[in-house]
Structure 1
């Protein structure tokens, strides 16, 4: 929220005069909701955090549909909302009735393929009533939306195929999570003498923590003093996993949480960013935010193939390495690539690439096109 949507929405407010209201269904506690409200308010963005019911998914769904949806309806009426932009099918489920009111324009944010992600990583069956019900609802949103946002070119192609005959593929806009500001002052930090890798983000099954640690273990054969920094809010989960599966790495891995405003500074202290995602159908639709953050901080990147548009974007760049964690590693080749990076500072090259492909200005311009599509 703070590192991706807030900068983009603020740029849209600043450049095009939009007013943004964010309603988030969240499991965060009251203090976290209050902090988020204050951060967003400082950027001119209105925020309402609605607590979710955690004890029962069914009860939570019914609460959202029949109680919270009424609250959202009243909020939209009270604040003169013109465009409703639900992110993914769960949000559309809550505001569907509101979207059918012609006084609102629906802009559908198809943020990856979250329904397919549950099939790939959470055991949801495609034969289940839940999957079929939400899939049908997803297709309704495709046609009802005046425009759509997705994160990769591959996602746009899949959406167009799913839309079938009569679907307007021109209303689908690819926006790749870019928030880089070229002339923004960057933190002045001193990198540690020993090689330091960094990972920033969540630790769910699709993020391949074990494979990242295994890769780090191989790197340490060439760089014995290397460090691995993990920036996550799931500190205990990360430490427990390392203790159980890679106890010999405990002294070389630092696990910590940092505020959103400090992430870039922490990244700048490292030499290389690492981002693995488990390849699957759903991963064709994702543009990993962490990769954009690494590049924006001037970091070379190790990533795995088959994720979104990364192969096409990074495949020929000297500062990036595509590494399949499911195949046998080449320790010598990996070590040589890292030594070459360390021998020559590539920060300016990486930052220039980030400016060309992931600028905040470009993202805001694309959002503006999506929000204005069909208005002449």
Structure 2
């Protein structure tokens, strides 16, 4: 199979443009960036999927002001840790309080506060780019582009409005949610049309966007930058670290361990994962399901009992970002199933890259972003073909036969998930002149790679 090139806008042409950017970096100053995120920097998502990128970009000379929303449940220690990380990276951080209730109105209020803060910072700094992480911040970013002429980077992260429907959060039978959905679909068209550059997490979503009937021939370029992983943070599992992890968790040396990493949320198929693990228990009664999550253990344990998985076969506990690689090292394989819906074509599960960086094979499902292609290309896992007992037995059989070439799998995973490569792509986007991005050559590069 030919090696994929997911971290790209358009393959070779963007690669040549990046070489030019690297050569000119010492001669040209970094850009002034206003980065807008509705996710908090005290959240694990912010710590793994925002701050490492920003640290890399400030290291390349860019001056970044960051606005994010922090939850009231976060402790002073967590906020202080995020503050120290931003200070160490040279990021000018402006945290705002997140509001959850009442639904919709609370989000509108947060966006109003974000817009006011963005305007204050614009008066002070006169930014070159407004970089917006997902749809809600992008509404503010588009307004800033229209008013101040900033270049607008729409880092979309997924088909957000469709996710709300597919996830059951917006019931389209309800007139209010139907109206909100239609509003955001109209806004989605505006964001995709008026952005100076679009970043997608997956090739699947990129192809969908390129085929949209409302996309202009000279539409903005679309780069694919998955949820990247710091391969220096997630190092290969060594024997001593695996032993340390198992000892700290009370896991016997020969015990078979399947690990789940992260919150369950709306999309992860807990019942099906428990059914899979019950089949694993039939083969190995001493097996353990290790769930590294900050979620409340009670609903998970209740679901386990309902699916015939004994409570003592499940271990649940949270971990800091620094602890995640250590605890995950106790696993023999990673396990996660995601509901394969239309909106998930744009999703890239962070845990996939983290497992592969640790050289831990995975059991997962296709129909989600580029997951199937990545698993097949890396040779570091198996895909469940059916969500039933025969399908689970088949997957376990293939997992037992899997010949995992760990070094090769990790290197293949780097092609998709390497953090340094992701930072380079964002750096290239920031440094491109607006006229360059609007040239027919740049547009053709992205579209010609189809």
Aligned length: 373
Q: Map of 1:271-286 to 2, 5 A cutoff?
A: 271-286=332-347
Contact 1:83 1:105 in 2 (8 A): yes
Q: Which residue of 1 aligns with 2:416?
A: 357
Deviates more, 1:40-49 or 1:153-162: 40-49
Instruction: Give the distance between the partners of 2:142 and 2:298, measured in 1 at CA.
Output: 36
> How far apart are residue 8 of structure 1 and its match?
2.0
Instruction: Give the distance between the partners of 2:50 and 2:113, measured in 1 at CA.
Output: 26
Q: Map of 1:1-376 to 2, 5 A cutoff?
A: 1-14=46-59, 16-29=60-73, 31=76, 32-121=78-167, 122-125=169-172, 128-162=178-212, 164-168=214-218, 171-181=221-231, 188=238, 189-191=241-243, 192-236=253-297, 238-242=299-303, 245-246=306-307, 248-315=309-376, 317-324=378-385, 326-330=387-391, 332-341=393-402, 346-375=405-434, 376=436
Structure 1 residues 243 and 358, CA gap change in structure 2 (3 angstroms) = closer
Contact 1:182 1:359 in 2 (8 A): no
Q: What is the TM-score normalised by the length of structure 2?
A: 0.76
Contact 2:386 2:392 in 1 (8 A): no
Contact 1:53 1:59 in 2 (8 A): no
> How far apart are residue 367 of structure 1 and its match?
1.5
Structure 1 residues 350 and 169, CA gap change in structure 2 (3 angstroms) = farther
Shift >4 Å, 4+ stretches: 182-188
Structure 1 residues 46 and 57, CA gap change in structure 2 (3 angstroms) = same
> How far apart are residue 12 of structure 1 and its match?
2.2
> Which secondary structure does the structure 2 equivalent of 1:312 belong to?
helix
Structure 1 residues 316 and 100, CA gap change in structure 2 (3 angstroms) = closer
Instruction: Give the distance between the partners of 1:238 and 1:9, measured in 2 at CA.
Output: 36
Instruction: Give the distance between the partners of 2:338 and 2:421, measured in 1 at CA.
Output: 25
Instruction: Give the distance between the partners of 2:387 and 2:423, measured in 1 at CA.
Output: 37
Structure 1 residues 295 and 311, CA gap change in structure 2 (3 angstroms) = same
Offset from partner CA, 1:84-116 (integer Å, 9 cap, x none) = 111222112344422212342110111111111
Structure 1 residues 273 and 227, CA gap change in structure 2 (3 angstroms) = same
Structure 1 residues 133 and 333, CA gap change in structure 2 (3 angstroms) = closer
Deviates more, 1:192-201 or 1:3-12: 3-12
> How far apart are residue 82 of structure 1 and its match?
2.2
Instruction: Give the distance between the partners of 1:183 and 1:247, measured in 2 at CA.
Output: 36
Instruction: Give the distance between the partners of 1:203 and 1:3, measured in 2 at CA.
Output: 17
> Which secondary structure does the structure 2 equivalent of 1:264 belong to?
helix
Instruction: Give the distance between the partners of 2:143 and 2:377, measured in 1 at CA.
Output: 47
Offset from partner CA, 1:242-300 (integer Å, 9 cap, x none) = 36524642101111100012111122221111121101000000111110111011111
Instruction: Give the distance between the partners of 1:306 and 1:179, measured in 2 at CA.
Output: 22
Instruction: Give the distance between the partners of 1:173 and 1:5, measured in 2 at CA.
Output: 17
Instruction: Give the distance between the partners of 1:210 and 1:311, measured in 2 at CA.
Output: 21
Structure 1 residues 265 and 318, CA gap change in structure 2 (3 angstroms) = same
Flag structure 2 segments of 5+ consecutive residues without an equivalent: 1-45, 244-252, 437-450
Structure 1 residues 80 and 29, CA gap change in structure 2 (3 angstroms) = farther
Instruction: Give the distance between the partners of 1:69 and 1:183, measured in 2 at CA.
Output: 35
Instruction: Give the distance between the partners of 1:87 and 1:312, measured in 2 at CA.
Output: 25
Offset from partner CA, 1:154-198 (integer Å, 9 cap, x none) = 111112233635244561101112224369855641254211111
> How far apart are residue 230 of structure 1 and its match?
0.7
Coordinate RMSD, CA, aligned: 2.6
